[in-house]
Chains A and B, each alone.
Chain A
Amino acid sequence: MKRTVWIYMAIVVLIFAVFLLSLQMGTMSIAPLDVWRTLMGDGTEQHTLVLFEFRLPRMVIALLVGAGLAVSGAILQSLSRNELADPGILGINAGAGLAVVLFIYFFQGSYTSLGETIFALPLFAFVGAITAAFLIYTLAWKKGVTPIRLVLVGIGLNAGFTAILIVFQLRMNPEDFMQATVWLNGDIWGTSWSHTLAVLPWMLLFIPLVIAQARTLNVMRLGDPSAVSLGVKVERNRRRLLILAVMLAGASVSVGGAISFLGLVAPHIARRLVGPRHQVMVPTAAMVGAFILLFADMVGRNLLSPSEIPVGIVVAVIGAPYFLYLLMKTP
Chain B
Amino acid sequence: MTRLEANHLSIRYEKEAIVDDLTIHIPEGKITTIIGPNGCGKSTILKTLARVMKASNGAVYLDGKSIHTQPTKQIAQKMAVLPQAPEAPSGLKVRELVAYGRHPHQKGFATLRKQDHDIIALALEQTGLKALAERSLETLSGGQRQRVWIAMALAQQTDLLLLDEPTTYLDLAHQLEVLQVLQHLNEQQGRTIVLVVHDINHAARFADHMVALREGAIVQAGAPEEVMCAQVLRDVFHIHADVVSDPRSGKPVCLSYDLLKHTDTRESQNVYPLGGKYGAG
Contact = CB atoms under 8 A, between A and B. Distances in A.
A81 B87 CA distance: 10
A43 interface: no
A149 to B, nearest CB: 14
Contacts of A232: 72-73, 103
B92 A276 contact: yes
A326 to B, nearest CB: 12
Contacts of A224: 52
Contact of B81 (A229, A272, A276): A229
B87 A230 contact: no
Given A228-B52, A275-B91, A222 B86 contact: yes
Given A212-B109, A233-B72, A222 B101 contact: no
Contact of B88 (A222, A229, A230, A231): A222
Interface in B21-70: 47, 50-52
B80 interface: yes
Contacts of B100: 218-219, 222, 230
B76 A276 contact: no
A194 to B, nearest CB: 34
Given A276-B91, A277-B92, A231 B86 contact: no
A226 B51 CA distance: 11
B203 to A, nearest CB: 22
B96 A229 contact: no
Given A212-B109, A215-B103, A218-B100, A228 B51 contact: yes
B91 A231 contact: no
Nearest to B138: A331
A221 B81 contact: no
Contacts of A225: 47, 50, 52, 81, 83, 86
B196 interface: no
Contact of B50 (A78, A221, A228): A228
Interface residues of A, number: 23
Given A212-B109, A229-B52, A229-B80, A277 B96 contact: yes
Contacts, number: 74
B89 A231 contact: no
A219 B103 contact: yes
Contact of B103 (A230, A275, A276): A230
A228 B83 CA distance: 10
B93 interface: yes
A225 B44 CA distance: 12
A228 B106 CA distance: 15
A195 interface: no
Contact of A230 (B76, B90, B93, B109): B76
Given A222-B86, A276-B89, A230 B104 contact: yes
B77 interface: yes
Contacts of B151: none
Contacts of A47: none
Nearest to A216: B103
A218 B109 CA distance: 13
A215 B91 contact: no
Interface in A246-279: 271-272, 275-277
Nearest to A229: B81
Contacts of B88: 221-222
Contact of B91 (A218, A226, A271): A271
B82 interface: yes
Contact of B76 (A215, A222, A231): A231
Nearest to A212: B109
Nearest to B111: A279
A78 B87 CA distance: 12
B156 interface: yes
Contacts of A81: 87
B178 interface: no
B75 interface: yes
A228 B50 CA distance: 8
Nearest to B80: A229
Contact of B104 (A212, A231, A271, A276): A231
Interface in A219-247: 219, 221-226, 228-233
B86 A223 contact: yes
Nearest to B103: A230
Interface string B93-119: 100100011011010010000000000
A178 to B, nearest CB: 42
Contacts of B83: 223, 225-226, 229
Contacts of A229: 50, 52, 76, 79-83, 153
Interface centre among B50, B81, B83 (most CB of A within 10 A): B83
Given A222-B100, A229-B82, A215 B92 contact: no
A291 B195 CA distance: 49
Given A229-B81, A233-B72, A275-B93, A222 B104 contact: no
Given A222-B86, A229-B81, A231-B72, 13 more contacts: A78-B89, A225-B86, A226-B81, A228-B72, A229-B153, A230-B103, A230-B156, A231-B75, A232-B72, A232-B73, A275-B92, A276-B89, A276-B91
29 contacts: A78-B89, A212-B109, A218-B100, A219-B100, A222-B87, A222-B88, A223-B86, A223-B87, A225-B50, A225-B81, A226-B86, A228-B72, A229-B52, A229-B80, A229-B82, A229-B83, A230-B103, A230-B104, A230-B156, A231-B77, A231-B103, A232-B103, A271-B89, A271-B90, A271-B91, A275-B92, A275-B93, A276-B90, A276-B92
3 nearest A-B residue pairs (beta carbon): A231-B76, A225-B83, A229-B81
